[in-house]
Amino acid sequence: MKIKKGDKVMVITGKDKGVTGTVVKALPKTEQVVVEGVNIKKKNVRAQQGGGIIDITTPIHVSNVMILDPKTKKPSRIGKKKVGDAYVRVAVKSNQEI
């Protein structure tokens, strides 16, 4: 999975299309990410735990988000580039390191 915790992403499909946010949590086994302020659901909490209705952020599939290019602030695909002995992630549009 190419998207990691802390990346700035934009939602490209679904009810939150066009919304940008930071990845709070990456779930590689299910190929999902939790993005701050995206895919918010209501949850009823029992009275013993404080009670009431709270908003929770639920995961979305990684294919529904694209990373934001650090130079142009637009969505871009992710590529790899070898620097020394290590590979780094780069934005395909501007060839900038992520």
Domain extent listing, the chain:
8-73
In tens, the pLDDT along 7-32 reads 999 999 999 999 999 999 999 999 99
Per the CB < 8 A criterion, the answer to whether 5 and 23 are in contact is yes
pLDDT at 47: 85
Q: Determine how many CB atoms are found less than 10 A away from the CB of residue 93.
A: 14
Distance in angstroms (rounded) separating the CA atoms of residues 63 and 43 = 25
Query: Closest Cα partner for 91 from 5, 3, 21, 20?
Result: 3
In tens, the pLDDT along 43-90 reads 998 888 778 999 999 999 999 999 999 999 999 999 999 999 999 999
pLDDT at 29: 96
Q: With a threshold of 0.95, does the pTM exceed it?
A: no
Q: Which CATH number fits domain 8-73: 2.30.40.10, 3.30.565.10, 3.10.20.30, 2.30.30.30?
A: 2.30.30.30
Distance in angstroms (rounded) separating the CA atoms of residues 89 and 69 = 11
